[in-house]
């Protein structure tokens, strides 16, 4: 079994190296631009679920380790075509590793396999990529999203347990920011921006999304942004979903910022049709020099079960050593009805290339 895993890793590495060599060898005179980029994102987390404690070495699932190949070219005046090929490779993803888990969890997953055309008409994308509403619950100017954001994934693998140590819910099963669909097969259209406003729509098999985004720089150097997204699914025999997500963020010229998000879901059929999940998130922060600090509060209801309420408070700090190099720390206090409170702390770094 180990030999098979090693063979797979070697094959993947050779494929990536070969593609990178081919793409970067294209003559610039051909008008084609290719780029290899990515990041490594790691953290050490100390976790206490109210019954047991552990220290985990994880890949930060807020923005995990990944690599990508992108390319674009001018097809004709006013029309540009491009591709993105992005893959995630994580060891001990913080979205799945829990207290007592062995240190050998590796995942190799497809993120994006997308092509696009862009011109005066807007942008059309086809393939595996972000749905139109993805990111509409995550507008955030705080500068601390690697450590804490509305869809916090840094501790999702750490279960909520009762006093006897029995699992009540996974962290990821208790919280949800109800963002749009991510990395799914779809066709997407983004309109040209109308001043500070842009609109996007997408459709895949038995699913559709629509989003409106707003971004505006204000006098004096401040900035405001907001987004609203809707997701609908219609798949016979499944829990058909109607989902709404919205968020907004403001940052003043002096660095003070405030962010908020709200989301809700409704299911037409199935066991979840009796639930009414909602999520509310608020964050206040301050940027100063190369640093950013923030304090946030989240409340999610009916996600883990009927009439169950989950809450968490996060204190986050991020220091930008240089462009693409971040150090971060985060403390989280989390609770769920019927479970022990959790205390979680992480320090880590993300380096982009």
End-to-end CA distance of the chain: 33
Local confidence band at 13 (pLDDT 50, 70, 90 cut-offs): low
Q: Does 141 score more than 70 pLDDT? A: yes
pLDDT at 221: 93
pLDDT at 170: 82
Across residues 255-274, what is the average pLDDT? 87
Q: Does 83 score more than 90 pLDDT? A: yes
Local confidence band at 116 (pLDDT 50, 70, 90 cut-offs): very high
Percent of the chain with pLDDT over 90: 77
pTM for the structure as a whole: 0.88
Contact 213, 116 (CB under 8 A): no
Dump pLDDT digits (tens) for 304-346: 888 999 999 999 999 999 999 999 999 999 999 999 999 999 9
Local confidence band at 270 (pLDDT 50, 70, 90 cut-offs): low
What φ, ψ does residue 269 adopt, rounded to 5°? Answer: -135, 175
Spatial separation of the C-alpha atoms in residues 204 and 114, rounded to whole Å: 14
Local confidence band at 235 (pLDDT 50, 70, 90 cut-offs): confident
- The residue extents of the domains of the chain are 2-352
pLDDT at 237: 62
Across residues 157-182, what is the average pLDDT? 92
Q: Does 118 score more than 70 pLDDT? A: yes
pLDDT at 234: 83
Q: Cα angle at 64 between 109 and 272, to 5 degrees?
A: 70
Local confidence band at 1 (pLDDT 50, 70, 90 cut-offs): very low
Lowest model confidence (mean pLDDT) among 33-37, 74-78, 167-171, 241-245: 167-171
Q: Does 229 score more than 90 pLDDT? A: yes
Local confidence band at 30 (pLDDT 50, 70, 90 cut-offs): low
Domain 2-352, CATH homologous superfamily name and number:
Porin (2.40.160.10)
> For residue 221, what are the β-bridge partners?
none
235 burial type by CB count under 10 A (0-12 exposed, 13-18 middle, 19+ buried):
exposed
SS3 19: helix
């Amino acid at each position: 079994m180990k030999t098979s895993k090693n063979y797979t890793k070697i094959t993947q590495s050779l494929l990536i190296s070969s593609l990178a060599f081919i793409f970067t060898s294209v003559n610039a005179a051909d008008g084609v631009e290719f780029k290899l980029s990515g990041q490594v994102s790691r953290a050490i987390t100390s976790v206490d679920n109210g019954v047991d404690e552990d220290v985990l070495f994880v890949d930060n699932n807020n923005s995990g380790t990944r690599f990508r190949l992108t390319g674009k070219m001018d097809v004709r005046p006013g029309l540009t075509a491009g591709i993105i090929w992005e893959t995630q490779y994580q060891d001990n993803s913080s979205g799945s590793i829990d207290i007592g888990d062995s240190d050998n969890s590796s995942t190799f997953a497809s993120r994006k396999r997308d092509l696009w055309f862009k011109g005066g008409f807007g942008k059309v994308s086809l393939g595996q990529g972000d749905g139109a509403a993805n990111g509409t619950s995550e507008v955030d100017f705080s500068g601390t999203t690697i450590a804490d954001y509305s869809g916090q994934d840094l501790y999702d693998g750490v279960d909520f347990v009762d006093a006897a140590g029995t699992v009540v819910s996974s962290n990821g099963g208790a919280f949800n920011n109800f963002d749009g669909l991510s990395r799914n097969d779809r066709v997407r259209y983004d309109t040209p921006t109308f001043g500070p406003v842009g609109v996007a729509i997408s459709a895949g098999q038995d699913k559709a999304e629509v989003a409106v985004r707003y971004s505006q720089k204000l006098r004096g150097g401040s900035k405001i942004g907001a987004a609203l997204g809707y997701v609908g699914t219609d798949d016979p025999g499944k829990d058909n979903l109607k989902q709404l997500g919205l968020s907004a963020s403001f940052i003043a010229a002096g660095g003070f910022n405030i962010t908020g998000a709200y989301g809700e879901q409704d299911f037409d059929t199935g066991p979840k049709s009796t639930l009414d999940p909602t999520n509310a998130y608020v964050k206040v922060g301050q940027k100063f020099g190369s640093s950013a600090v923030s304090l946030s509060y989240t409340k999610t209801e009916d996600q883990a079960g009927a009439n169950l309420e989950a809450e968490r408070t996060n204190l986050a700090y991020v220091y930008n050593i240089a462009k693409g190099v971040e150090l971060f720390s985060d403390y989280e206090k989390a609770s769920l009805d019927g479970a022990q409170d959790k205390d979680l702390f992480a320090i880590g770094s993300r380096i982009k290339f």
